[in-house]
Amino acid sequence: MLNSGINVIIEGVNMQRLLLGLAVTVRIAFISIILGSLLGILLGLIRTSKSKVITFICRVYLEVFRIIPILVWLFIVYFGVTNLLNIHLDGEIVALIIFSLWGAAEMSDIVRGALESLPKHQMESGLALGLSFWELYRYILIPQAVRRMLPGAINLSTRMVKTTSLVVMIGVIDVVKVGQQIIERSVLKTPTASFWIYGLIFVLYFIVCYPLSKWSKKLEAKWEN
């Protein structure tokens, strides 16, 4: 074990640095998930509107985020837009903006799908009771839609956590970047450093994402009936 190089994980402040890097990753992901979900729910509700113009605009927004790689989005805003407007934006701020907008786009589609999957009769029997538009959403449609969209929303959250690893490319020091720095510094002394450090990062991502996907499976099973 002494020569395997596993010690590189706990050498000096390596572990603390990795955990601080993980905190950056989790912070970006968490804030983006919250902001993206709020905006996405709103957009999803708007997308069920009957206005063709509004749904078209929302649809374009969704597709633009789906088609263009997130990395390109990060570059456009971090390098391109800041250059054009002659301002400086912190990498983490750019990451938060892009991930929130992406989350909102995907979330809006999940919300729309959930709302549209509800039987039309539910809406009609609500209307027949004299519910107003907002009461209909508040008491009948949203509570039922939430159950249908949670598995998808949780799945989206784990995708967002994983995709935050791209922020390295715009200079944000996340858990992956910290790992690279540690490896570069220790590789002469410990040739197997990349295995151990990336292995640890692998485990850290797993620890963050696994409970989420486990939770989504549990909810799915619970609400199946």
- Of 3 and 225, nearer to other proteins (C-beta) is 225
Amino acid present at 197: I
Cα distances (angstroms) measured from residue 127 to each of 51, 119, 137, 196: 20, 13, 11, 61
- Of 86 and 119, nearer to other proteins (C-beta) is 119
Can you say whether residue 5 is alpha, beta or left, with left for phi > 0 and alpha for psi between -120 and 50 degrees? left
- Taking CB under 8 A as the criterion, the residue among 50, 51, 88, 119 binding other proteins is 119
- Taking CB under 8 A as the criterion, the residue among 3, 51, 86, 225 binding other proteins is 225
121 sits near other proteins (criterion: CB under 8 A): yes
219 sits near other proteins (criterion: CB under 8 A): no
Among 18-26, 51-59, 95-103, 120-128, which window interacts with other proteins (CB under 8 A)?
120-128
Q: Which residue has the tokens 């009936």?
A: 225
Report, in Å, the least distance between residue 147 CB and other proteins.
7
Binding string, residues 67-106; x marks residues near other proteins by CB under 8 A: ----------------------------------------
147 sits near other proteins (criterion: CB under 8 A): yes
* Cα 170 → chain centroid: 17
144 sits near other proteins (criterion: CB under 8 A): yes
Burial, 154: exposed, middle or buried (Cβ in 10 Å; 0-12, 13-18, 19+)? buried
Evaluate the CA torsion angle 191, 24, 61, 212 in order and state its sign.
positive
Distance between CA atoms of residues 102 and 108, nearest Å? 10
Burial, 67: exposed, middle or buried (Cβ in 10 Å; 0-12, 13-18, 19+)? exposed
- Please list every residue from 13 through 72 that binds other proteins, using CB under 8 A: none
- For other proteins, the binding residues (CB under 8 A) are 119, 121-122, 124-132, 135, 139-140, 143-144, 147, 225
